[in-house]
Chain A
Amino acid sequence: AQKVTQAQTEISVVEKEDVTLDCVYETRDTTYYLFWYKQPPSGELVFLIRRNSFDEQNEISGRYSWNFQKSTSSFNFTITASQVVDSAVYFCALSEYGNKLVFGAGTILRVKS
């Protein structure tokens, strides 16, 4: 069965620090999709990225970057030069091909000024 583990319950950093949010997944399928969502204090869920299992290229989008490593079943998310507006709960999620989305428990990120 598919499973997502976000071992970091809460992380606190000072503005401008870099921070990495860990995501480890389990699946028996060879075709699957990984996602990251952000939930700011206002409560809505915002899609950040989708990655399929055949694309191991790392991705960078502004201050955000994602490192996908099939060898360690990890899909980690790094924020460079963090800002107060990055404070949120971040969820990693996994779906096996054509199947339901399973979320990790989430990591609370607090960025202090």
Chain B
Amino acid sequence: DAMVIQNPRYQVTQFGKPVTLSCSQTLNHNVMYWYQQKSSQAPKLLFHYYDKDFNNEADTPDNFQSRRPNTSFCFLDIRSPGLGDAAMYLCATSKRTGALYNEQFFGPGTRLTVL
């Protein structure tokens, strides 16, 4: 089945230690998104790629970076995690054709703990 896969599902890191979260998709979608969801809150968009074009949200801290080496993979890098970065990180994809907006498909998420 076509899907969005996130690895790992649970990640523990230490304060200040760089961490990378991975997302892959078999849907061949041209848009990939990263969201941060803190406990009991709505998902908050960090950035997205439309093909190779990177689009950062204005309020996303510089501590968060992303890479998309090919259509299938997208990575979220947190350069120096702080305690406030502990959250669920959701990857999503969508297929954008011109001005037509299609729904986003979400992965299961990676829960990040910062010690």
A and B are interacting partners: no
